[in-house]
Amino acid sequence: MEIPLIAQAAATAGIVLTVVQYWMKTMIPLRVVGIVTNVLFLIYAGLAGIWPTIVLNCIVLPLNLYRVHEMRQLIRRTQRAARSDLDMTWLQPFMTRRRTKKGQVIFRKGDIAEAMYLVVSGKFLLQEIGIGLEPGAVVGELGLLSPEGLRTATLISIDDGEVLSLAYEKFEELYYQNPEFGLGFLKLTSKRLFENIARLEAELATRPPRVAPTPSPMTRH
C-alpha cells in the first residue's frame, strides 16, 4: 500500500517535533508541542491505516490536553492569590496528607526547613511568637526564601489535627516545569512577608516607649 505524500509529510513533521520535545525545558510549551505531534501522527496513521499508532495517540492526546489545562489552572490560581488573599488551598493536589497528635511538635526553631504546611483541621501554635493557626492557614512557606534554610519558630499541634505538606523539592519541580507559577508563588510569599513585617511594626508601636534611666549624681561629671 502506497502511503500518501501528505501522510509522509505529517509523519516527518511529527518525528522532528518529537526530537524537539527532548530539548524543551518548560512544561506548557512542551505539552503544546506534544499535542501538535499527536495530531500529526494521527493524520499519518489515519491515512496509512496504522491502527496501533492511532490508538496510542488517541490515548496520549487527551492526557496532554488535560496536563496543559491543569498547569494553566495552577498558574491562574497562583496569580489570583497573589493579587488578592493568601489562600493556598489550590496547592492541595500536589500536597501530602499528615495527621498530628495533641502536643506534637511539627518542627522546631533551627530545624532545616524542607516543607510548607496547610492546616486542614485542629489548632496549631507558633510558639516563639505566640501566633495561633486554624484550618486554612499556611505555615512554613517562608523557609523556602530563607538564606540559611532554617525554621525561625517552633510549630506545635494544640489539638489532634491534620495538615497537608508540600515539600520544597515538589515546589522546585513545579517551578522548573513552569516559571510563571514560580513567579506567582514568589509574589504570594513576598506579600505574606510584608504583612508579617507590618504586623510586627504595629505591635511595636503599641508598646510604651522605654525611658532611659536618670543618671545618679555620683555618675555626673
- The answer to whether the CB of 62 falls within 8 A of the CB of 70 is no
3-state class (DSSP) for residue 98: strand
- pTM, two decimal places: 0.52
CA distances from 20 to 32, 52, 64, 182 (A): 12, 23, 16, 24
As a whole number of angstroms, the distance between CA 122 and CA 162 comes to 7
Question: What residue type is 113 in one-letter code?
Answer: A
As a whole number of angstroms, the distance between CA 90 and CA 85 comes to 12
Question: What residue type is 140 in one-letter code?
Answer: G
pLDDT confidence tier of residue 78, bands split at 50, 70 and 90: low
Position with higher pLDDT, 137 vs 187 = 137
As a whole number of angstroms, the distance between CA 118 and CA 136 comes to 6
> Which residue has 495561633 as its cell numbers?
132
pLDDT confidence tier of residue 125, bands split at 50, 70 and 90: very high
pLDDT, mean over the chain: 82
As a whole number of angstroms, the distance between CA 142 and CA 31 comes to 31
Q: Which of 198, 168, 199 is nearest to 185 (CA)?
A: 168
3-state class (DSSP) for residue 96: strand
pLDDT at residue 136, rounded to an integer: 82
> Per-residue pLDDT for 122 more than 90?
yes
Instruction: Of 27-31, 80-84, 176-180, 188-192, give the range with the top mean pLDDT.
Output: 27-31
Q: What is the DSSP letter of 169?
A: H
As a whole number of angstroms, the distance between CA 90 and CA 107 comes to 24
- Report, as an integer, the average pLDDT of 216-220: 55
Residue 167, H or E segment: strand 161-167
Lowest pLDDT segment from 90-99, 100-109, 184-193: 184-193
Q: Which of 116, 211, 118, 100 is nearest to 164 (CA)?
A: 118
> Per-residue pLDDT for 8 more than 70?
yes
pLDDT at residue 84, rounded to an integer: 53
Q: What is the DSSP letter of 100?
A: E
Position with higher pLDDT, 179 vs 142 = 142
As a whole number of angstroms, the distance between CA 218 and CA 27 comes to 75
Please provide the DSSP assignment of 101-166 as one string.
Answer: -TT-EEE-TTSBP-EEEEEEES-EEETTTTEEE-TT-EESGGGGT-SS-B-SS-EEESSSEEEEEE
Q: Cell digits for 120?
A: 486542614
